[in-house]
């Protein structure tokens, strides 16, 4: 049994209490380290703290249990048992201490590795930020480029849709893939869908279509090829076709992009201008012939009058001479009027009597109309005011209207000329009424268009009424037509009465003059 147990009791109790306290504190430290590590598992400091507290807990348990066991065995007279267990307890304490020290020493290396990992992580984060920025910039560039492409496509689509020429895309066989609204209208169709999928060359003459197709395949393009286009809605157009082959991966063209321009009006104008040039030449020839005829006519008239003076009272001879004189005078008037119409003069206005101009024109056409069984009637208003006008140009208007009326009459008929004066408006009206076939309502709005004619080629230029319209407008007047098919037509020319001070005579001016 131990001696002197009482003096050692406080020390033993303190040792036991300290050992228990060490166990409790090491457990609390271990729990705290675990809690911190759970919150920030990626933090190497907290990981080290868990390891360190684990070693500390092991050391505390080994040492504290050994001390408590020693006191219990010694106080129970089992010191010899403790003597056998003490080396084990010491070895466990040593192992625990070595473990704690190893953890501490190992941490420095782990910490350096951890720092390098942190730096690598930051580098990766910076790289990721740069990559994210580059991605954002790239996305913005792609978005901007997409917007630019969309705007460009929209712009060229507007050009495509709004072009006044036909624009088309087709394959080398001619199958239409896309076409603009002008092209749809030019082909005589109603919708784009009615054109897409059909062969463009079906609207062309077969020989011309083959020639265009082969030229595109061989040369890669065609330029301003004049073609005849047969519209689905009826009628033919003269067009200029240009096209360029678009090549794909192979050497053969994949598709053709092209334009078709309607030049029908231009071609008609060229033909009509050629006809007008011929008419001008004919006018010059007529003037020359008229001069040549005028000289012998003068001799005939002179000798006729001379023979009449010297002839005796022989009645039959005098009557024959008077007949010769009468017809020679008629021929002379016709020649003089022909000379008037053949002269090309600039507009020179003067005060003229419209009735005189009507008589001049009637004398020119009277014999021709009589032979063709077309009667001429005149109903001229008395006291018609004179107008400021170019007499040659107004004669031309009257002649054009009369000839147009004659051509509208099939067989026998009548053309009536009537004049009137509206004092309220200050307008003189000249009305030409024929008993012809009339004008269809669908073309009546076109009759004053240049080169518009319903006559076969070579039978008319389509310029007469258009020129007349321009002349009347140049005189501040109006020209219009009233017609019903099968009931004849009426052309009305209205010219203003111009006073000496340049004012038009209307109701207000007349009131001022009276007032």
Q: What is the pLDDT of residue 415?
A: 93
pLDDT at position 274 over 60? yes
Both 352 and 487 in a single domain?
yes
Q: What is the pLDDT of residue 84?
A: 67
Both 445 and 493 in a single domain?
yes
Across the range 398-423, mean pLDDT stands at 90
Both 464 and 429 in a single domain?
yes
Please report which confidence band the pLDDT of residue 14 belongs to, taking 50, 70 and 90 as the band edges. confident
Please report which confidence band the pLDDT of residue 169 belongs to, taking 50, 70 and 90 as the band edges. very high
Both 369 and 506 in a single domain?
yes
Q: Do the domain assignments include residue 145?
A: no
Task: Produce one character per residue of 349-371: b if its CB has 16 or more CB atoms within 10 Å, e if not.
Answer: eeebebbebbebbbebbeeebee
Q: Do the domain assignments include residue 144?
A: no
Nearest-angstrom CA–CA distance, 376 and 380: 13
Both 381 and 335 in a single domain?
no
Among candidate residues 319, 344, 369, the one where a domain is terminated: 344
Q: Do the domain assignments include residue 291?
A: yes
Alpha-carbon dihedral sign for residues 390, 394, 396, 397: positive
CA atoms within 13 A on the CB side of 427: 15
Q: Do the domain assignments include residue 147?
A: no
What would the pLDDT profile of 314-359 be if each residue is shown by its tens digit? Answer: 667 777 778 888 778 877 776 776 665 565 556 678 899 999 999 9
Q: For residue 388, what are the β-bridge partners?
A: 351
Both 387 and 504 in a single domain?
yes
Q: Do the domain assignments include residue 60?
A: yes
Among candidate residues 344, 363, 385, the one where a domain is terminated: 344
Q: Could you tell me how many helices (H) and strands (E) the chain has, helices first?
A: 11, 12
Total structural domains within the chain: 4
Q: Contact 61/23 with Cβ under 8 angstroms?
A: yes
Please report which confidence band the pLDDT of residue 305 belongs to, taking 50, 70 and 90 as the band edges. confident
Both 12 and 78 in a single domain?
yes
CA proximity to 54, closest of 31, 24, 21:
31
Q: Which of 178-187, 243-252, 268-277, 450-459 has the lowest mean pLDDT?
A: 450-459
Please report which confidence band the pLDDT of residue 85 belongs to, taking 50, 70 and 90 as the band edges. low
CA atoms within 13 A on the CB side of 160: 13
Q: Do the domain assignments include residue 81?
A: yes
Both 429 and 354 in a single domain?
yes
| Summary mean pLDDT of the chain | 80
pLDDT at position 504 over 60? no
Residue 421 parent element (H or E): strand 413-422
pLDDT at position 153 over 70? yes
Q: What is the pLDDT of residue 3?
A: 46
Instruction: Give the CATH number for residue 211.
Output: 3.30.450.20
Among candidate residues 344, 373, 388, the one where a domain is terminated: 344
Share in percent of the chain as helix, strand, coil (round to 5): 60, 15, 25
Q: Which of 6-20, 31-45, 121-135, 438-452 has the lowest mean pLDDT?
A: 6-20
Q: Do the domain assignments include residue 139?
A: no
CA proximity to 99, closest of 46, 65, 48, 52:
52
**Domain with 508 in it:** 348-514
pLDDT at position 374 over 80? yes
Instruction: Give the CATH number for residue 325.
Output: 1.10.287.130
Q: Do the domain assignments include residue 148?
A: no
């Amino acid at each position: 049994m131990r001696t002197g147990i009482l003096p050692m009791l406080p020390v033993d109790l303190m040792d036991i209490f300290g050992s228990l306290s060490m166990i409790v504190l090491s457990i609390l430290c271990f729990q705290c380290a675990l809690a911190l590590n759970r919150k920030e598992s990626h933090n190497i400091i907290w990981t080290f703290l868990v390891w360190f507290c684990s070693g500390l807990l092991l050391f505390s348990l080994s040492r504290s249990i050994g001390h408590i066991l020693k006191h219990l065995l010694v106080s129970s007279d089992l010191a010899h048992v403790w003597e056998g267990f003490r080396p084990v307890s010491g070895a466990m304490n040593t192992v625990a201490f070595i473990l704690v020290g190893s953890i501490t020493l190992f941490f420095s290396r782990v910490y350096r590795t951890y720092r390098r990992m942190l730096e690598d992580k930051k580098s990766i984060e910076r790289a990721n930020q740069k990559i994210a920025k580059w991605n954002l910039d790239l996305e913005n560039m792609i978005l901007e480029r997409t917007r630019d492409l969309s705007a460009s496509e929209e712009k060229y689509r507007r050009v495509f849709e709004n072009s006044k020429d036909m624009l088309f895309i087709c394959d080398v066989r001619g199958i239409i893939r896309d076409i603009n609204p002008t092209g749809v209208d030019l082909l005589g169709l109603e919708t784009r869908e009615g054109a897409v999928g059909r062969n463009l060359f079906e609207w062309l003459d077969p020989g011309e279509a083959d020639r265009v197709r082969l030229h595109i395949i061989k040369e890669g393009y065609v330029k301003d090829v004049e073609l005849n286009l047969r519209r689905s809605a009826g009628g033919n157009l003269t067009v200029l076709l240009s096209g360029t082959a678009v090549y794909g991966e192979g050497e053969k063209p994949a598709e053709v992009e092209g334009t078709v321009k309607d030049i029908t009006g231009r071609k008609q104008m060229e033909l009509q201008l050629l006809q007008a040039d011929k008419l001008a030449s004919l006018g010059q020839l007529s003037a020359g012939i008229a001069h040549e005829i005028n000289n012998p006519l003068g001799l005939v008239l002179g000798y006729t009058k001379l023979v009449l003076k010297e002839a005796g009272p022989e009645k039959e001879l005098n009557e024959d001479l008077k007949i010769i004189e009468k017809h020679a005078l008629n021929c002379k008037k016709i020649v003089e009027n022909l000379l008037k119409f053949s002269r090309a003069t600039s507009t020179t206005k003067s005060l003229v009597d419209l009735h005189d101009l009507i008589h001049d024109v009637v004398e020119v056409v009277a014999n021709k109309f009589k032979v063709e069984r077309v009667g001429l009637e005149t109903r001229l208003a008395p006291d018609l005011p004179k107008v400021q006008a170019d007499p040659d140009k107004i004669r031309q208007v009257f002649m054009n209207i009369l000839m147009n009326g004659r051509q509208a009459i099939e067989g026998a008929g009548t053309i009536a000329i009537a004049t009137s004066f509206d004092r309220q408006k200050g307008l003189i009206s000249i009305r030409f009424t024929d008993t012809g076939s009339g004008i269809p309502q669908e073309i009546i709005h076109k009759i004053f268009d240049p080169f518009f004619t319903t006559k076969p080629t070579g039978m008319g230029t389509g310029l007469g009424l258009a020129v007349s319209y321009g002349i009347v407008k140049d005189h501040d007047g109006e020209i219009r037509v009233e017609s019903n098919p099968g009931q004849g037509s009426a052309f009305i020319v209205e010219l203003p009465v111009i006073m000496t001070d340049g004012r038009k005579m209307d109701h207000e001016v007349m009131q001022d003059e009276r007032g």
